Amino acid sequence: MSISNISKRIFGRALAAVSLFAVAAFPFATSASAQIAVRGETVWTMTGEPISNGVVLVKDGKIEAVGTAAQVRIPEGYRIMNAKVVTPGLIDAHTVIGLNGYLNQPHDQMALDGGSAFQPELRAIDAYNAQETLVEYVRNLGVTTIHTGHQPSALVSGQTMIAKTTGKNVDEATVSQLAMIAVTLGQAGLAGQGRSPGTRAKQAAMLRGELIKAQEASKKSEPPTDLKSQIMVRVIKREVPLLVTAEKAQDILTALRIAKEFNIRIVLDGASDAQLVINEIKAAGIPVILHPTMARPGGDRENLSMATAKKLKDAGILFAIQSGYEGYVPKTRVVLFEAAVAAGAGLGRRDALASITIDAARIIGLDSRIGSLAVGKDADIAMYDGDPFEYTTKCVGTMINGKMVSEEAR
């Protein structure tokens, strides 16, 4: 045998040995289409009552079957994951993580450009960092999808996007490049230092002015060529909603009034005073992404209440709970904890869980893919060693698109 053939044979055996070791040591880490069975003493599907002694089968990144252990047979060869409580992957209906980072330093704070009060053309995907530590942090606690983007600190700060909390880069993480346009009415949206807008009236006038321009542009035969007009025309055509952060009752009413005037889609955000204008919100049929339950009262949030979520639910208003924007380290709240406090403040466990799963999915327009454990949906699953809303409970597993992305108890 020639030296060349001997070398090839030795190399081939070595390569086979390395491959065998990789498969043995990491049998599930590299495959997004693994076949997995998730067993839970309690499985919250969010399609009905929780299932006792339940099983969720996962294949090729999707949910294959859901039911009791007596109903769903686990096929041979499926990897089995066990947990006390199993829920759909949690959804943060509004955050800024991925644009703002945990270091709280200029180089990782990309959710606001102070150059102008009106910048709807700023794309969240151009600033999103899939490797940001805060993304990993919330993923390890069961958050699998985030609606993130430019922060509520300008009249129109930019666009929002929807991402899964996985992937090496923005392309792998992105579910929707453009979800909404972030608008802020009230104190947080005032420019300050003598710049415009300096009052609430000027905020509303500026927003109306841009919407009128977009109306005129939408009637022309040729589409607009500038980025700002392009995106505002899509708002006028009801293709893209405005995410309007409005805490005070007067600002909430302004948002509802403008939405009616221009027949545009909006989602109310923050809404600390929602309980004061709850009839008006319900009559308008507008969903609400409510402020974090434990947000600090003060300023425009002086009237916030931990019981507002319960009042929205009782009124039949679709709402979700968010982590929101924080100006201090560690730069993010966790929707699991915010929903837990709302549950204890009268909302109850099921409705609190719905506010960070299926109801959040409905508001961001993805309830056909995520938010509940149902056949055909994305296999996004959170696993806990006890009641998720108890302080001592740990998340023992997070699955995204059928792949285990966290297995260490957190």
Residue % of the chain over a pLDDT of 70: 92
Q: Is 239 helix (H, G, I), strand (E, B) or coil?
A: coil
| Span 67-94, pLDDT tens digits | 999 999 999 999 999 999 999 999 999 9
- How far does CA 312 lie from the centroid of its chain? 20
Instruction: Give the CATH number of domain 29-88+376-406; options: 3.40.630.30, 3.40.50.300, 2.30.40.10, 2.30.30.40.
Output: 2.30.40.10
Q: Which residues, in sequence order, are bridge partners of residue 398?
A: 382, 406
The C-alpha angle 212, 115, 203, rounded to 5 degrees, equals 40
Residue 127 has pLDDT above 50, yes or no: yes
**Strand, helix or coil for residue 307:** coil
Q: Which tokens hold the place of 172?
A: 């792998």
Provide the pLDDT confidence category of residue 33 given band limits of 50, 70 and 90.
low
Amino acid identity for residue 234 in this structure:
R
Res. 28 pLDDT band, cuts 50 70 90 = very low
CB 262 within 8 A of CB 211: yes
Q: Is 254 exposed, middle or buried (0-12, 13-18, 19+ CB in 10 A)?
A: buried
Cis peptide before 388 (omega within 30 of 0): no
Q: Which residue blocks in 219-303 are alpha helix, DSSP H?
A: 227-236, 249-262, 278-284
Tally of CA atoms within 13 A in the half-sphere of 118 that contains its CB? 17
Whole-number Å distance between alpha carbons of 214 and 212: 5
Hey, what's the torsion of the CAs at 370, 373, 375, 381, to 10 degrees? 80
Tokens of 193: 């230092």
When comparing pLDDT for 230 and 28, which is higher? 230
Output the pTM of the full model.
Answer: 0.91
Handedness of CA 133, 137, 142, 146 (dihedral sign): negative
In 3D, which of 327, 364, 337, 329 has the Cα closest to residue 152?
327
**29-88+376-406 against 90-363: fold identical:** no
Q: Which two tokens stand for residue 124?
A: 């969240």
CATH of 90-363, one of 3.30.365.10, 3.40.50.300, 3.20.20.140, 3.20.20.70: 3.20.20.140
- Report the alpha-carbon distance of residue 334 to residue 326 in Å, rounded: 11
DSSP letter at 33 equals: T
CA distance 185 to 251: 6
Residue 357 has a pLDDT of 98
Token readout for 256 is 């509802």
DSSP states along 315-375:
TT--EEE--B--SSTT----HHHHHHHHIIIII-HHHHHHTTTHHHHHHTT-TTTSSS--T
Domain extents for the chain?
A: 29-88+376-406, 90-363
pLDDT tens by residue, 205-244: 999 999 999 999 999 999 999 999 999 999 999 999 999 9
Query: For all residues of the chain together, what is the average pLDDT?
Result: 92
Task: Read off the pLDDT of each residue in 241-254 and give the average, rounded to a whole number.
Answer: 98
